[in-house]
Every structure is written in C-alpha cells, then in structure tokens.
Structure 1
C-alpha cells in the first residue's frame, strides 16, 4: 500500500471517529437500559422495564485569587472549582396484578433530567504579617494569621413522576 493511500485512509478513519464521538461528548448523559428479557423468558412472567442515564460531569473554570490591599497573600488561595451536570434520569415500569381479574396494569416512576451545579470547598489564608507600611520604613506589622474555609454549594431542582396505567377492558 502506498504512503499516500495510507495517509488518505488514516484521514478518513480520523474524520469518521470524530463524527461518531462528537454526539457522545455533546450529550448530557449516557443512556443505560437494564436487560431483563432473559429473566422474562426463563420464568415466563413479565418483568419490570428499567432504563436511565449516567450523567457526564463538566468541570468549570475556577475563580482565581483576588489581591486585596493590606494582605500578604491573595484571597481564595485555594479556589473553589465549579462542576455542572444533570441528575440522572430513570424510568421504571413494572407490571401490577389486578386483584379482581387476570388483567395486568402497570405502575411506573420516572425522574426527568434536572440541572445540578456544585462548587467544591475552598480556603482563604492570610499570613501573620500585614503589608509593608510607610510609617515603619517598609517593615510589616505582626498580626494574627487568618484562615477561612469557603463552604461547598449544591444547587438542583429534582422532580419525579408516578403513574398508573390500567388495561383496557
């Protein structure tokens, strides 16, 4: 095989791989279904239908340190890192026997996608010295060291739907 043919083939394979991978990266989650067909055939009964998604986590850009006048070290020495994702979606549907007859209904529960934003903990430190002082010929004053922990944050709005279907009479 000539080198030009190999190069062309490599370029085509790379383009196909990029085209196939792009939708997976742009998706909010990876769909997952629990296969219970074998159990249905083995026990000759209707099994629940279970499916859902596994969310993909996207890290954000941390806020950098802020320099404040009079401090030796910047604020937010250990910055908080934001993450965004969606809560996993799930669908569960199971047969429900009818008490008065042989017909089956279904009960189902589903949780739709909902956004989730988090912020990791962080810290702000300050040295036991003040900034340089003009009245002290450029020497800093001693002071008590400062340590502040920045609390983590979690923001979401989850929801769920519960349904009951009956067989047609």
Structure 2
C-alpha cells in the first residue's frame, strides 16, 4: 500500500473517530449501559433466555459550599466544607419469556428498575478558636473562651423506583 493511500485511510479513520467522539462524549453521560450477552447460551441450549441489561452510574463531584463568615467568630463557620456528589443508583432491565399453557407462542415478564438520581453531601467540620474577637471594652484584647469543634453530618437523598409487568410477545 502506498504511503499516500495509507495517509488518506488514516485521515478518514481519524475523522470518523472524531465525529463519533463528538456526538457521544463519555463524560456527558450520567450512566453507562451494560448489556449482558446471552445469545451464545440461547443458541447452545436451543431455548429463549431472559434479556438482561443494566446501567452503571458515573459519580460527578460538585462544587463545595465554601466557608461562611459569622460575626463574632475568628474562624469561618464551615472550616472544612461539605463536598456534594451526584450520581445514580444502578439500573436493571430484565425480560424473560413465559410459555403459554395452550400454545407455542411466548409471553414475557419484565422488570424495569431505571437508574435513579442520588445526591450525597459529604461530612464537614466546624471549628472555633479559644479566643473571642478583639473587644473595645477590654482595650482591644481578645478574651479567653472554651474552644468549639463540631462535625456536620453527611446527607444522602434518593428516590428509587421499579416496575414489574406481564405482556404478549417477546
């Protein structure tokens, strides 16, 4: 093969790959579909098997909620901010044939549990120094006080759902 032919073929393949990457970027998807191939087992066993597929989530970190300055404190309210993470619960799709009692056709039972959004907020921390802000009544000097430390609890929110049904055909 000539070098010009190889160069043209490489340019066409690169353009096709760039076009495919531009239309379906992997980073923009929230879930990745995962089919379970059972075609070989159907052929080997000579029967219809269930169709199984799933969806795996891609966790996406968000922007942390910054520190909050509070009057009367030397250290901000949220010294270690909470980090939000958005993802999805894994999804599942299942269709299995059900033989009819009085015929050769198949009905099917289906279970559909789509991926559902999950919002999580990581733990955070609050701290306070053992000194008060400068006090003009005390000649501008801070007064001692008890130090304070606390944890901000993490939060998790999700609304999963599923559907089960029977229908004709496969």
Fold conserved between structures, TM > 0.5: yes
Q: What is the deviation of 1:167?
A: 5.3
Change (3 A) 1:25 1:18: farther
Distance 2:30 2:116 in 1: 10
Change (3 A) 1:13 1:102: closer
Structure 1 residues 33-75: Cα deviation after superposition (integer angstroms, max 9, x where no partner): 0111122222222221111211122111111111112212111
Structure 1 residues 70-99: Cα deviation after superposition (integer angstroms, max 9, x where no partner): 212111111011112233332111223445
Once superposed, which parts of structure 1, at least 4 consecutive aligned residues long, lie more than 6 Å away? none
Q: Which residue in the other structure is 2:4 paired with?
A: none
Larger CA deviation: 23-32 vs 73-82: 23-32
Distance 1:111 1:32 in 2: 14
Q: Residue 46 of structure 1 is aligned with which of 45, 48, 53?
A: 48
Matches within 5 A, 1:86-125: 86-98=88-100, 103-125=105-127
Task: Answer yes or no: is 1:20 the counterpart of 2:21.
Answer: yes
Consecutive unaligned residues in structure 2, runs of 5 or more: 1-6
Q: What is the deviation of 1:100?
A: 6.0
Change (3 A) 1:65 1:14: farther
Q: Which residue in the other structure is 1:57 paired with?
A: 59
**Count, aligned residues:** 160
Q: What is the deviation of 1:118?
A: 1.3
Q: Residue 161 of structure 1 is aligned with which of 158, 163, 166?
A: 163
Distance 2:48 2:16 in 1: 44
Give 3-state SS (helix, strand or coil) of 1:123's partner.
strand
Q: Which residue in the other structure is 2:136 paired with?
A: 134
Q: What is the deviation of 1:101?
A: 5.8
